[in-house]
Each structure stands twice: as C-alpha cells, then as structure tokens.
Structure 1
Amino acid sequence: MKRQPAFTLVECIAALLVTSLVVVLTGYALTAVRTTSRLSLAQATDWVICLQELESADHHFALKRADRYQLELRDLNQHRNYELCLRDRLYLRSVNGGYMPVFSNIRVEQSGFKRLDSQRVCITVTRTNGQKLEGIVCFEKDQ
C-alpha cells in the first residue's frame, strides 16, 4: 500500500489552536476599540443633549439672572423658578426643593457661565479628564 502525503492529527490540532488564538485576540482588540470610541462619542453626545435640553420647547426656560457659577431660570410652561448650578457637576435645582444632575465630572475653577445678552449665555465646562467643552444657549424671552 502506498502512503499519500497528508497532515497528521497533531498538525491539524496545532493549526486549529493557532487559528482560535488569532480569532480570540482579534475579538479583544475590536472590543477595546469599540469601548474607546463609545466613551468619547458618549461624552460629546451628553454635552449636546445637555444644551438641547436647556433650549427645549418642553421647558421654555427664560433667563432671569446670571452669575459665574449659577443661572436663575424661569420655566414659562410650568411657571416655576429653577437654578442651573455649576459645582463639581452641572445640575438643575428647583427653588421649591429637589435637583437633577445634568452633566458631571467638571472642574469648577475652569468652568463658568458668561452672559452674552438678555437671552444668550456661553457655558464653558472643563471635565476632570481635561476635555474643554463650550456652548451657547439661547433662552426664551421673559414675558
């Protein structure tokens, strides 16, 4: 009987082990890339959503007063007063009690509000990771 050239069982198992190792390592690398991309995208998205909520038609916030670390707002829909405060996070506080965090991980000393005119405020925020974000919010006219 003549022997035909072929792979041995040991060679097949070694090839399967190398292939599975490459697949597993590629999966880990793709997961790391996705996680990194998602975090940076999520931070930018959170900032845009924060600014959109302040200009939202659901609230119709009117600007009453602006300090470096605090804005006084009036919700024209519900006729309630709120304060947008900047501490270690940006949060909306009801004058009647209670608050809602809006944006977190902020360096207060490098952040602040700057009133541009009767309706617009420039909000500058530096996150604890060093990322600097800035946006201009246009509030409703107070009636």
Structure 2
Amino acid sequence: MTGRVLKIGEVEVIPSKSGGEPFKKRTVVLNCTHSDFGRVFENYPSFEFTGRHLDDPIAFKVNDIVTISFALQGTKFQKENQPERYFNTISGYKIELYQRGNGTQRQVAHQPQSVVQPQTQELQRNDLPF
C-alpha cells in the first residue's frame, strides 16, 4: 500500500503473560486519503512492525511517500461462556520510498533518527500511484 507517512510510533513493549520475552512493536500510520470529483475518501491504515523489522520505519519521516508491503493476519479469541471474537493485524515487513515515474522503488538504508510526531496533510489524487 502506498501513502504519505502520517505517524511513526515509539516502540511499544507488551509483557509476556508467561514471563518470557516481551512482545515489541512499532506502528506506522499512512495517510492514503484521496479525492475524486470533489468527494474526499479518508483512509488511514496502520501497520505494525515487529521482530527484525521493528526499527525499519525509523529511516523515514512524516510526509515521506512510501510503499509498505504487509501480511494480513487474523486471530480467534474466546473467553469462557463468551462468543468467539476475531481480530486482524496488518503486519508490515517492508517499507520503501515511493518513486514516481519509471515505476521503480528503492529501499532506504536504515539510518536511525528521532521518531516524529503526526502531521495532517491530505494526499492529492496525483500523489498516489493508483
């Protein structure tokens, strides 16, 4: 999915219930809002980066136009005497700067930088590749 980086979150640490290693994740939110014939279609997907990809997003900054490759994962949860519930996770595993023109993309070397705070900026229709 391609869009403009709206937010790169801090690392969240979730303690293990069994006392093992905690789960760590970093969330990236894209602004994929676009307009078409005067109608605005808001779209703010968020992606979780974990494991070896935890620090991949820090090479980018708010307002960069990026493409994120992801896997959609679903989990079933049920408490005793409760109906089943289902949760979805969008797990990012690759983030690249989007390059308009020849349709190619390049991956940016992961250079640590400070995490940035969100800014709101709507994408124009011609900013997106679709």
Structure 1 or 2: more helix by fraction:
1
What is the TM-score of this pair, normalised by structure 2? 0.25
Between structure 1 and structure 2, the one with the greater Rg is 1
